[in-house]
Amino acid sequence: MGEIERRLAERELVLPAVFAAPPGMRMTFDRVRIDGTVAYVSGHGPMDGSRPLMVGKVGDPLAGDWLSQEAGYEAARLTALSVLASLKHELGELDRVTGWLRLLGFVNVAPGFTATPPVINGFSDLILELWGDRGRHARSAIGVAELPYGIPVEVEAVVRVDGR
């Protein structure tokens, strides 16, 4: 077992099934596209295979039927686990990810919800916990109108991988 997977196990974190298109949708893109020692990771959400683990917009739960900021944070953490499942599937082991470069995070926002960085922190925190300094990355966190299947968070990434 590699170092990253040991750290996942220490935290009792289990990777979900690899992201797949929901029934009736064709998946015309690759989860991960490797180009030399750079891997481009497609936008992922809090999915277990083709099943969304959370749906809904993030906002003030007192003002409407919205997910709280804390639930959004959890969605972003689950999104990171889905990305790790795709990277493990593609690379064989997660230790082959030698550095994180860039995240682009989208939050499915209710009107007026602007605390998008604390939501995407759920993704960044897990990466930093697992990779330490090699997990440090540039990032944007944007509030958007709609996300696929109604998921609350979507994140894409660029990472460096060993050239094996």
Cβ atoms 68, 152 nearer than 8 A = no
Q: Which of 60, 89, 104, 134 binds a copy of itself (CB under 8 A)?
A: 104
Options 3-11, 12-20, 77-85, 105-113: segment touching a copy of itself (CB under 8 A): 105-113
Q: Which of 2, 49, 111, 132 binds a copy of itself (CB under 8 A)?
A: 111
Which parts of 20-39 interact with a copy of itself (CB under 8 A)?
21, 25-33, 35
Return d(Cα 56, Cα 51) in angstroms, integer.
Answer: 14
Separation in Å, CA 103 to CA 16, 22, 54, 71, 127 = 20, 24, 21, 20, 11
Pair of tokens at residue 146:
């709609």
DSSP structure class, residue 22? P
User: Does residue 136 touch a copy of itself according to CB under 8 A?
Assistant: yes
Pick 14 or 86: Cβ nearer a copy of itself: 86
Return d(Cα 88, Cα 19) in angstroms, integer.
Answer: 12
Q: Which of 16, 56, 61, 148 binds a copy of itself (CB under 8 A)?
A: 148
User: Does residue 79 touch a copy of itself according to CB under 8 A?
Assistant: no
User: Does residue 91 touch a copy of itself according to CB under 8 A?
Assistant: no
User: Does residue 163 touch a copy of itself according to CB under 8 A?
Assistant: no
Return d(Cα 18, Cα 87) in angstroms, integer.
Answer: 9
Q: How many CB atoms lie within 10 A of CB 117?
A: 13
Cβ atoms 103, 43 nearer than 8 A = no
User: Does residue 68 touch a copy of itself according to CB under 8 A?
Assistant: no
Pair of tokens at residue 20:
């797949």
Which parts of 113-132 interact with a copy of itself (CB under 8 A)?
113-118, 121, 124-125, 128
Residues that bind a copy of itself (CB under 8 A): 21, 25-33, 35, 40-43, 99, 101-104, 106-107, 109, 111-118, 121, 124-125, 128, 136-150, 154, 156, 158, 160
